[in-house]
Amino acid sequence: MNRREAIRASLAVLPTGALAQPAGGRVWRIGWLGLVDSAREPYARAFVQRLQELGYVEGQNLALDFRHADGQLDRLPQRVAELAQRRPDIYFTGAAEPAVKALKATPGDTPIVIVAADFDPVATGHIVNLARPGGRLTGVTPLQSVLPAKRLELLREMVPHLRKVAVFTSAVSAGQLAVVDEAARRMGVGLQVIDFVREPFNYEAAFADIQRGKSDALLVLGSALFVPARRRIPELAARAGLPTMFHQAQWADAGGLASYGFSFVDMYRRAADQVVAVLRGAQVGDIPMEQGSRFELVINLRTAKALRLTIPQTILLRADRVIE
| pLDDT tens per residue, range 51-97 | 999 999 999 999 999 999 998 999 999 999 999 999 999 999 998 88
Tell me which range, 2-16, 197-211, 287-301, is most confidently predicted by mean pLDDT.
197-211
Q: Is 65 helix (H, G, I), strand (E, B) or coil?
A: strand
Rounded-to-integer distance, Cα 295 and Cα 163, Å: 27
- pLDDT bracket for residue 6 (50, 70, 90): very low
Flag the least confident range among 188-192, 228-232, 272-276, 289-293: 289-293
Q: Report pLDDT for 20.
A: 39
The domains located in the chain, with CATH, are 3-142+263-294 (3.40.50.2300), 147-261+296-323 (3.40.50.2300)
Residues 11-28: tens digit of each pLDDT: 443 333 333 344 347 999
With 0-12 / 13-18 / 19 or more C-beta atoms within 10 angstroms meaning exposed / middle / buried, residue 188 is: exposed
Q: Report pLDDT for 172.
A: 85
- pLDDT bracket for residue 291 (50, 70, 90): confident
Q: Report pLDDT for 60.
A: 95
Rounded-to-integer distance, Cα 318 and Cα 324, Å: 16
- pLDDT bracket for residue 147 (50, 70, 90): confident
H or E segment to which residue 152 belongs:
helix 147-158
- For 257, residues 6+ apart whose C-beta sits below 8 A from its C-beta are 158, 237, 243, 244, 245, 299, 300, 303, 304, 307, 309
Q: Is 60 helix (H, G, I), strand (E, B) or coil?
A: coil
Residues 197-217: tens digit of each pLDDT: 988 899 999 999 999 999 999
Q: Report pLDDT for 293.
A: 67
Percentage of residues in the chain having pLDDT higher than 90: 70
Q: Is 265 helix (H, G, I), strand (E, B) or coil?
A: helix
Is the pLDDT score of 134 beyond 90? Answer: no
More confident residue, 246 or 25: 246
Rounded-to-integer distance, Cα 8 and Cα 13, Å: 9
Q: For residues 159 and 309, is the Cβ–Cβ distance under 8 A?
A: yes
Q: Report pLDDT for 13.
A: 37
Residues 32-49: tens digit of each pLDDT: 999 989 888 889 999 999
H or E segment to which residue 244 belongs:
strand 244-246
- pLDDT bracket for residue 112 (50, 70, 90): very high
Is the pLDDT score of 145 beyond 70? Answer: no
Rounded-to-integer distance, Cα 54 and Cα 47, Å: 11
With 0-12 / 13-18 / 19 or more C-beta atoms within 10 angstroms meaning exposed / middle / buried, residue 79 is: buried
